Amino acid sequence: MTIHSTAPRPARLRRAGRGALLLLLLVALAGGLLFAGYQVGLRQIFPYALFDRVNGKIERELGLNQEQPRIADARIPTALLRIDSRVFRVETGRTDGNALKQNGGGLAALDDAVLLLTYNGMIYAADGEGPVRETGVMAPETGRAAYEALADDPDHADYQIGAGFLRYNDLEVIGTGTGRALIVSYTEFHPERSCYTNTLARRELGPETGAAALAAPGDWRVIFRTAPCLPLKTRYLAIEGHMASGRLAWDEGRGMLYLASGDFHLDGMRSDGPPIAQDRGAQYGKILAMDAEGRGARIVSMGHRNMQGLTLLPDGRLYAAEHGPQGGDELNLIEPGGNYGWPRESYGLSYTSTPIPGAVSFGRHETHRPPMHAWMPSVATSGLAYVQGFHPDWDGDLLVASLIDRSLYRVRLDGDRGVYHERIEIGTRLRDVHQHSDGRIVLWTDSGELVFLSAAPLADRAVTVERFARRQKLEPQLAARLETEIGNCAQCHSLLPDEHAKAPSLARIWDDEIAATGYTGYTDALAGKRGRWDSATLETYLADPQGFAPGTAMPGVADSELAPLVVQYLEALDRAF
């Protein structure tokens, strides 16, 4: 039996035509969207520009995908003294240039040994003389393998599982009545609950001195985990371990261990929900205090973002160096019960260059406790150390390391006030700064170097006018006039090598080619001169700078009796270096 359709043929054709047309429209729409996306990326038009700008700012702040420059032994000029650096390469097994995945760690002193904890849990020992050596001790497991396995789990397809974001953040040697122990801070993933914490583990040390104490039998035991255990985020990275903070400080007198616990970007901008730093029931965005066994943990201060530096002064004052967002990096004197405002208040902006959502003020710190010092724009503050016994010119200051700026900042303290900071360029990202038991300053860099800093011997300082005058047997009145003249020169010219900020250094100018230093502000007339700075040339120049090189800012030496003595002083200065 043949079954015939009850619908007329034209109606069936019209329905088929509409279906084909709808299908064509859907294909065209999909193709249009693909083409539009291609053009947005190709031509970098809105909204590509907005997204790219936001991501670019985040990457610049965090140092994503940047190859870090290597540094070498050097003599580093500073405002008050010169610093000698010795650089030791540490082979950490880096396989990726990503600055987030394979950076981290910290420094501590174990008698005469500097202990280094790297991002991957290796512990090294160094003395600043011989090679850096592995200790054979590994930090406890972080649960990294289980976390990274979620990337292949269909149940976690909506999460961005960032490989390498569970890091080891710091280590500290503590001493108690029962002996000494090593404390390690790290971010730990708990696969059975699919959540993460900042975790502290303790390992007892043997009675030996230095790195030999690490050979004591025993294993790590977890003494503290932050609460609550945080669920994975669905916005941005599931765990933003670079925001863990995790810095430690030990108060031996009171038997108190401090932990800086970051907010993991649970700030209402890169996460859903209210900012965790303002939640008194959560141990994140806080500085915590506990005993040597992790017991009795309490909140000391709150309203913090990402504290990459923590140091305790001998008088009990606690300081923290904290990352702002786009600008607003902070140096904070920590007061018990203090609320430092994040993210309700910050001198910085969001990554879209707009005010931080929900902030109570813009560009000011008027409601919550303000920082002692702030940086605009960001320098990406990291490690923090108090200086005592390094050199009288620096003792009592704070040293703040930086990532983006690749510099060390020396902050002069006057009581609770920061009077000024001095930027000391190192040339690579500095992850931690530590003053060792022998007084030397030690830096750990993101390019995998340990850098030992020591003050240059005082005997290497510039030849003083008094010593020169004594050797030349100058009359006291003439020596005083010469000292005044050299003082006039020193208002612009440094008497130390390679310092050319305001004018060429005079330290090695004798018999050098004219206008051949690293100074970049030579006039065309002086830069075009040929020859060397010998006695005759220098005396001619000092007597009539405009006649020698028109347009120069040099005032010259009007006293004809002093000009030859200034030249002789420059020759003596050259021999000193």
- pLDDT at residue 353 greater than cutoff 90: no
Which phi-psi region, left, alpha or beta, contains residue 240 (left: φ > 0; alpha: ψ -120 to 50)? beta
Give 221-242 pLDDT, tens digit per residue: 999 999 999 999 999 999 999 9
Q: Distance of alpha carbon 454 from its chain centroid, rounded?
A: 20
Give 388-425 pLDDT, tens digit per residue: 999 999 999 999 999 999 999 999 999 999 999 999 99
Specify the pTM: 0.78
CB proximity list for 242: less than 8 A, separation 6 or greater: 62, 100, 104, 165, 167, 306
pLDDT for 32 equals: 54
**Helix/strand/coil (H/E/C) assignment for every residue in 225-276:** ECCCCEECCCCCECCCHHHCEEEEEEECCCCEEEEEECCCCCCCCCCCCCCH
**Contacts by 177-183, CB closer than 8 A, 24 or more apart:** 179/204, 179/205, 179/207, 180/204, 180/205, 180/213, 181/205, 181/292, 182/108, 182/110, 182/115, 182/214, 183/223, 183/248, 183/250, 183/257
* Among 287, 264, 246, residue whose Cα is nearest residue 105: 246
What domains lie within the chain, and their CATH numbers? 103-422 (2.120.10.30), 462-576 (1.10.760.10)
Give 248-306 pLDDT, tens digit per residue: 999 999 999 999 999 999 999 999 999 999 999 999 999 999 999 999 999 999 999 99
**Greater confidence, 93 or 420?**
420
